[in-house]
Each structure stands twice: as C-alpha cells, then as structure tokens.
C-alpha cells in the first residue's frame, strides 16, 4: 500500500506551460483525501514550490516538502527536519572555479535567496529568481559574512554550453561534492550527502514509512536517487532515457496527464 508519493516539480508535476493540469490536480487531491502524503521533491527552494503546494491544498506541519534536491527536508510550514549545507570555504571554491573558467553561476542560501557575482547575469539565474518570487543579489564572497553558507550552487547556461562544462565540473568537484545535471540548463553542486534519495530516506525514517510504501515520479538524472530508494519508481514519458532506465514504470508525458494515469492505474 502506497503511503507517500514523492513528485519532482519541473517537467513532472508541471506541464510544458509550467502548469498543473486539471487531471493531475484532481488525482493528487484524491490521493490526499485517501491519507497519502504528497511530497514535492525539487531542486527548487521552498519559495519556488510554495505556489504549487498552495494550488494543491497542501499545507501545515503534517505535510512535507523536500527542497534544494534534498539539502532541506521540512514541513510545508517551514519547520526543518534535516539540513545539509555547504560551508563558506566550499562556496568560495565553487565561485572561484566558475569565475576563472567563465561559467555563469548562482548559489542559493537556505532562505530561497539567489546570489551571484556575475555582473552579466545569465537568464537561467533570472528564471530561478523569478520562480522564487525574489531578486538576485550581486555579491562577491568578500561582500558576504565569513560564515555565509549555501544549500547549492548551479552552473547554468544553454544546453550546448553545459554539455561542454559538465565533465570538467564533475572532474573538479565530484570527489568532494554531489554534482548532478538537473536538466538541460542546470548543473548543480551540493553537499556530498545530499540528493533526492537521501532526503526522501530521512523523511521516510521520520514518518516511519518503509521504502516499499513509497512511489516516486520524476524525469531527470537528479530524480534517480529517489527512484533507487523507493519501492515504486515512475519516470515521465518526457523524461531522459537515463531516468527511464532506472524506473519500474514509464507513464505518459507531463503534457498528457502522466501522473494522473499512473495513479489511476496503481493506486485508485
């Protein structure tokens, strides 16, 4: 019996118009009425997923959300269950590397704030800030407190740029950090113990829910750790081939109510 459904946001919960379809919303609300926990599990911060939590009617300290790809596990009200951040030394290393190699980047703190020292701000940093209903703080490391920490850094750019950046960044940082391509335009660097699977595991332990009582839905590389943890892993039809290869099932696309269809088939 499924007791918790963990759902990626971009290109999974949301269709290509960045909307939740009517059928998906109705299916998730039906699951909520059955007592199933619906947990959004995203690379976004809480501010970036709050509009969708509100739309689905998910609120309070008895509902949960996994943000920053697992760096924070918290209640929807914002009470933290677990947090893994990168210290100031790590932040400075990443910024120095990105700057020297002319890689557009931004970082996020644990309050959904977006920072970069790039004066020519990449459009994907702007998109992230817009999703968070926030601005962008242009700051060098020396302009911030010595104890400033981040939840994650993101090297950003057009897909062709990131195709060139991905391996050098992984070569530089993968021994000490979790580095993952979170879609075509985002290459993310986080604490080595952080991923969606570890965040989901911490939440499951807190709720005393077993892996075989969990369904996960996603579309990209950063969803694979939660696929590997859960008893039932579902990739979206629009997902990457790599994500699909780690899933138990492949449902329809995000534009064709893939979530509603798999829930109807496996739960209702």
Instruction: Give the residue numbers marked as catalytic.
Output: 8
Among the listed residues 241, 224, 242, 222, the one whose alpha carbon sits nearest the alpha carbon of residue 233:
224
At residue 57, φ and ψ (nearest 5 deg) are 80, 30
Residues 6+ apart with CB under 8 A from 84: 70, 71, 190, 191, 193, 194
133 SS3 class: coil
Among the listed residues 215, 209, 214, the one whose alpha carbon sits nearest the alpha carbon of residue 235:
215
- Residue 87: CB atoms within 10 A of its CB come to 13
* Element spanning 104, H or E: none
């Amino acid at each position: 019996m499924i007791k918790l459904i963990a759902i990626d946001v971009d290109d999974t919960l949301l269709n290509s118009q960045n909307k939740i379809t009517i059928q998906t919303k109705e299916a998730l609300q039906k699951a909520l009425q059955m007592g199933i926990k619906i947990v959004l599990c995203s690379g976004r911060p809480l501010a970036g997923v709050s509009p969708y939590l509100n739309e689905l009617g998910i609120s309070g300290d008895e509902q949960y959300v996994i943000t920053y790809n697992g760096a924070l596990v918290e209640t929807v009200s914002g009470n933290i269950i677990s947090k893994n951040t990168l210290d100031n030394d790590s932040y400075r290393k990443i910024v120095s590397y990105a700057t020297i190699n002319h890689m557009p980047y931004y970082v996020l703190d644990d309050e959904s704030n977006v920072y970069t020292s790039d004066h020519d701000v990449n459009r994907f940093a702007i998109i992230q800030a817009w999703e968070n209903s926030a601005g962008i703080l242009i700051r060098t490391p020396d302009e911030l407190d010595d104890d400033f920490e981040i939840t994650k850094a993101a090297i950003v750019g057009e897909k062709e740029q990131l195709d060139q950046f991905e391996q050098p960044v992984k070569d530089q940082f993968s021994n000490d950090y979790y580095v993952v391509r979170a879609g075509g335009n985002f290459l993310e660097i986080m604490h080595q113990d952080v991923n969606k699977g570890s965040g989901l595991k911490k939440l499951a332990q807190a709720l005393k829910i077993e892996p075989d009582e969990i369904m996960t839905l996603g579309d990209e590389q950063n969803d694979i750790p939660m696929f590997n943890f859960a008893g039932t892993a579902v990739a979206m039809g629009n997902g990457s081939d790599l994500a699909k290869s780690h899933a138990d099932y492949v449902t329809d696309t995000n534009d064709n109510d893939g979530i509603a269809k798999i829930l109807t088939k496996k739960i209702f």
